Amino acid sequence: MAANNKKENGKSANVFLIAGIALVVFVAYSMFLGYRLYTKLTGTYNNIQRSLVDVSTIKDNLLMVNRDVLLIIADPNSNAVDNVHEITNCFNDIDRCMKDYEQVEDREEKEFRRYKQAKTFINAYHKKILSFQEMYMSGAENSESLRLDADRAKLLYTQELQPLQVTALEMFDAAKDIGQSNSESQIAMVYRTLDIFMGLMLVALVGGEAAIIIIARMAKAQSAKLDKREKELEAFDSKLKVSKRKMNEMAVMNILTGMKNRYALDEDISGRLETDNMCVTLLDIDNFRQINDIYGYDFGDEFLGMVSDKLKEEFSEHAELYNIQGNQFCLVFKDSVAGSQAMRLSEQAIQVMNNVYTISNIGLQLSATGSFYNYHARECANLSALLVKMISGIRQGKARGGNVLITVM
Amino acid sequence: MNKNKRIFSRTAICAMAFSLVFASGCGSKTEEADNGKITVIVKSQDPYWDAVKNGATEAASELGYTIDWQAPENEDVAQNSFVEDAVKGGSKAILIAPSVADGLEDSFKVAADKEIPILAVDTDIKSDYKLSCLATNQDAAGGIAARQTEALVPEGGEIAVMGHMQDSPTAIGRFDGYFKNLPHTTDCRIPNGYTDDNELAPNTIKARQTGGQPVFTLVDVKFCNNDADLAVEGTLELINNHPDLKVIYCTNQTSTVGVGRAIDQLGLKDQVQVVGFDSSDEEIKFVEAGVLDGIVVQSPYNMGYLGVRYAVKSINDYSIPSAIDTGATFVTQENLNNEEIQMLLHPENY
């Protein structure tokens, strides 16, 4: 049962540990994810802005080139030099924007493909304009047959230049549209991910709260169980103590007479034999065996009980009383009782025992023999030696006919 | 209690797993939008239209539309039913390369009543309901061919025409545009419906000859009825009838291929300059070999691509120009490998 309890507690601790680690990982991962989404969103916005600026600059420049070409056709004498210069600047600007556009990372393949087509059209348009300039202006001097007059220049413009410019513009728009649509879907995806992420956080929060409540309830139930077990153990322990005490008592008591037994006597005085002086009296009921033989053991037991009760009643005040064997009683007088008084009290005890005791309307009177020993320290090595001396005194008394107190030395 | 623990740990694991999935998913492409379909009706199943289809399909995919491609068996099939089916099928816009100059007006009206924008591609058509036309301006294409002829043959000389169909508006446009821009005189009968009102005046001829500028003489106009073999035969006749012939001008792919084959067979590539139209593989080989001196190449890919973009603009109520010239480019042996020419010939590689 205790092992199970330990196992159960171990499991609870593991759950808390795993939940704690999971929470730390989740929070760290959430921060990483949030940072990643934020970076992606910022990057996407920057790319859109950069691409829009590039494409609109390219388109503005193409329109300016177109205007300059028309001005040259309208009046080559007054406009040519300035406009040619401006066309060159415009194409430089277009080149710069195209390089910038190409540097933006993460372009979708479709978008880049369309951009490359637009770039090819622009290059073709530029090449055509350069040859147009040559034919219309300086180059015409070399080949008379290629000289362009204003009417033919207009035709060349509408038939060969304008379609290239229109297509280039449209292709750039297409590249921009693809890029924008791609970026918008990326942004939408980021927002959708954020929504889901927030939802997950909410679920984690609610789940965490629920888990805390569940664990708290589990802990409470566990604690109540432990309290109950503790109380049970206390009750068991107190029962055990009572039993132990009873067992101890039983070990040093004579159950029949309720007096301490020989073991108790040993316990009480063995330690004192070496150091203390004391008065000890051993009392033995004469002819007790006959009662057992005549009236039975129950009757004898009853008689002993009554005698011992009387002894306790009369002498407990002056001495510690022991029933060391069947009909033998031992009185160890207290230090406050002087030797002579002890002897007198011992004689009284013989008298008390000599009284008539009535059991089941039968009056019984048995004499007793006593052995008195005014003991001095170190006279006996142990209790047995002491008792041997005293029993020999009893024997002497019994040999004299009993009902006498013999003093032993 | 154990059950509670299991639920708790499973929820935590699921939450972590979900967040991982979403984090890794972040940045991936979303599904493409579906804004509807755009019907493209062309004249026939000739490979020329494949490029239109490619351009249209790519633009549609970029803008979230799908293409409903309709290509009849040949140019004789009436296109009215295709227009009406597109209306019934819920198309958002119609791009059409009309096979006829008129006769589609009623169908166009059905579409216009449902506010479905109609745009012509490749060939223009007169209509009250057409919003725009994205095509090569045939007059301009003829003009480009004329200017390049002048540069190729600066000394001038006799010139003949191999037309593909006498009553084809394309042939007429290319003939008219060519001779409007080419300094020439005419020494033959001009077919009905064709215009040749830009002949040089006698004093201009003299002035040009004195100034070393070229003057051409139109000596013959033949038609091959869109049959390359007939074009070969016609070319042989032209060479026989006009030994001093300097230039043959062809008005489409079939006539150009036929004339190229004849000149190649006769070994006359250095004597007779051939200027043609379109860019089939055979024509490109003739250009590489110097049999054809130049071909005017349109951009069918751009027609399809820009056509769909402008159609979507009109679906979204943006105004669009009534005509967009998708341009024409003169391709010669010298510029054949330039990037812009290769992109024109093989847009799928760019």
Number of structural domains (chain A) is 2
A158: Cβ–Cβ under 8 A, 6 or more apart, which residues? Answer: B140, B325
pLDDT at A122 over 70: yes
pLDDT at B24: 46
pLDDT at A143: 46
Band (B23; pLDDT cuts 50, 70, 90): very low
Q: Which among A218, A235, A270 is the end of a domain?
A: A218
Do A327 and A183 belong to one domain?
A: no
Band (A24; pLDDT cuts 50, 70, 90): confident
pLDDT at B316: 94
Q: What is the mean pLDDT of residues A195-199?
A: 84
A369 against A28, higher pLDDT: A369
Partner-chain residue, chosen from B28, B63, B214, that has the shortest CB–CB distance to A145: B214
Which of A54-63, A82-91, B18-27, B271-280 is the most confident on average? B271-280
**Can you spell out the DSSP letters for A97-162?**
HHHHHHH-SS--HHHHHHHHHHHHHHHHHHHHHHHHHHHHTGGGGT-GGG---HHHHHHHIIIIIH
Do A92 and A169 belong to one domain?
A: yes
Partner-chain residue, chosen from B5, B22, B137, that has the shortest CB–CB distance to A159: B137
pLDDT digits (tens, 9 = 90+) for B100-146: 878 899 999 999 999 999 999 998 898 999 999 999 988 899 999 99
Mean pLDDT of the residues in chain A:
86
Interface membership of A128 toward B (CB under 8 Å): no
pLDDT at A193: 81
| Phi and psi at residue A369, to the nearest 5° | -115, 140
pLDDT at A142 over 70: no
pLDDT at A396: 93
Interface membership of A129 toward B (CB under 8 Å): no
pLDDT at A138 over 60: no
| B343 vs A contacts (CB less than 8 Å) | 117, 120
pLDDT at A320: 94
Do A333 and A204 belong to one domain?
A: no
Do A396 and A278 belong to one domain?
A: yes
Residue of A nearest to B138 (CA): A159
pLDDT at A136: 67
Do A12 and A125 belong to one domain?
A: yes
Q: What is the mean pLDDT of residues A56-74?
A: 88
pLDDT at A79: 62
Place of tokens 């330690």: A271
Q: Residues A369, A286: contact at Cβ < 8 Å?
A: yes
Q: What is the mean pLDDT of residues B76-88?
A: 92
Place of tokens 């009534």: B322
B4·A214 Cβ contact <8 A: yes
A75 against B335, higher pLDDT: B335
B62·A174 Cβ contact <8 A: yes
pLDDT at A19: 75
Q: If one looks up domain B138-297 in CATH, what number appears?
A: 3.40.50.2300
Band (B222; pLDDT cuts 50, 70, 90): very high
pLDDT at A112: 87
Q: Which among A218, A250, A284 is the end of a domain?
A: A218
| Phi and psi at residue B22, to the nearest 5° | -70, -35
Quote ipTM for the complex: 0.81
Band (B57; pLDDT cuts 50, 70, 90): very high
Of A74-88, A169-183, A326-340, the range with the lowest mean pLDDT is A74-88
User: B57: which 2 tokens?
Assistant: 């399909």
Interface membership of B143 toward A (CB under 8 Å): yes
**What is the C-alpha to C-alpha distance for residues A124 and B209, in angstroms, rounded to an integer?**
34
B8·A15 Cβ contact <8 A: yes
- List B residues 13-32 in contact with A (Cβ-Cβ < 8 A): 15-16, 18-20, 22-23, 25-30
Among B2, B8, B9, B18, most A C-beta atoms within 10 A, so best to mutate, is: B8
A155·B340 Cβ contact <8 A: no
Beta strands in chain B (DSSP E): 37-41, 66-70, 93-96, 118-121, 130-135, 157-163, 184-186, 216-223, 245-250, 273-277, 294-297, 323-325, 329-331
pLDDT digits (tens, 9 = 90+) for A1-15: 455 555 655 666 677
Band (A252; pLDDT cuts 50, 70, 90): confident
Query: Same CATH topology for B37-136+299-327 and B138-297?
Result: yes
Q: Residues A321, A331: contact at Cβ < 8 Å?
A: yes
Band (A139; pLDDT cuts 50, 70, 90): very low
pLDDT digits (tens, 9 = 90+) for B166-212: 988 889 999 999 999 999 999 999 999 999 988 998 888 888 888 88
Interface membership of A162 toward B (CB under 8 Å): yes
Residue of B nearest to A167 (CA): B326
pLDDT digits (tens, 9 = 90+) for A14-23: 777 787 788 7
Interface membership of A89 toward B (CB under 8 Å): no
Looking at the domain covering B37-136+299-327, what would its CATH class be? alpha beta
Band (A160; pLDDT cuts 50, 70, 90): confident
Tell me the shortest Cα–Cα distance from B100 to chain A, in angstroms. 25
Tell me the shortest Cα–Cα distance from B27 to chain A, in angstroms. 6
pLDDT at B30: 44
Q: What is the pTM of this model?
A: 0.66
Domain that holds residue A53: 2-218
pLDDT at A189: 84
Which of A153-162, A187-196, A276-285 is the most confident on average? A276-285
A145·B1 Cβ contact <8 A: no
Please give the share of chain A, as a percent, with pLDDT higher than 90.
42
**Count of pairs with CB atoms under 8 A, one residue in A, one in B:** 135
pLDDT at B25: 45
- CATH number of the domain within which A382 lies: 3.30.70.270
**Can you spell out the DSSP letters for B277-339?**
E---HHHHHHHHHTSSSEEEE--HHHHHHHHHHHHHHHHTT----SEEE---EEE-TTTTTSH
Do A63 and A198 belong to one domain?
A: yes
User: B218: which 2 tokens?
Assistant: 């139109």
Do A16 and A158 belong to one domain?
A: yes
pLDDT at B1: 46
**What is the C-alpha to C-alpha distance for residues A297 and B138, in angstroms, rounded to an integer?**
150
pLDDT at A8: 58
pLDDT at B75 over 90: no
Interface membership of B145 toward A (CB under 8 Å): no
The total of other beta-carbon atoms located within 10 Å of residue B191's CB is 17
Tell me the shortest Cα–Cα distance from A217 to chain B, in angstroms. 10
Do A76 and A168 belong to one domain?
A: yes
Tell me the shortest Cα–Cα distance from A227 to chain B, in angstroms. 19
Partner-chain residue, chosen from A36, A144, A207, that has the shortest CB–CB distance to B11: A207
Do A188 and A277 belong to one domain?
A: no
pLDDT at B29 over 70: no
Residue of A nearest to B339 (CA): A120
Do A307 and A179 belong to one domain?
A: no
pLDDT at B22 over 80: no
Where do the domains of chain B lie?
A: 37-136+299-327, 138-297
Q: What is the mean pLDDT of residues A300-311?
A: 91
Q: CA A389, A395, A396: angle at the middle one, nearest 5? A: 90
- CATH number of the domain within which A89 lies: 1.20.120.1730
pLDDT at B9: 54
pLDDT digits (tens, 9 = 90+) for A311-349: 999 999 999 999 998 899 999 999 999 999 999 999 999
Do A184 and A291 belong to one domain?
A: no
pLDDT at B267: 96
| Phi and psi at residue B116, to the nearest 5° | -95, 120
Interface membership of A123 toward B (CB under 8 Å): yes
**What is the C-alpha to C-alpha distance for residues B133 and B121, in angstroms, rounded to an integer?**
6
Give bridge partners of residue B66 from the DSSP assignment: B37
A52 against B227, higher pLDDT: B227
Do A202 and A311 belong to one domain?
A: no
pLDDT at B246: 97
Q: Residues A203, B15: contact at Cβ < 8 Å?
A: yes
Tell me the shortest Cα–Cα distance from A159 to chain B, in angstroms. 5
Tell me the shortest Cα–Cα distance from A240 to chain B, in angstroms. 35
Write the CA distances from A119 to A61, A91, A116, A143, B328, integer angstroms.
14, 12, 5, 31, 18
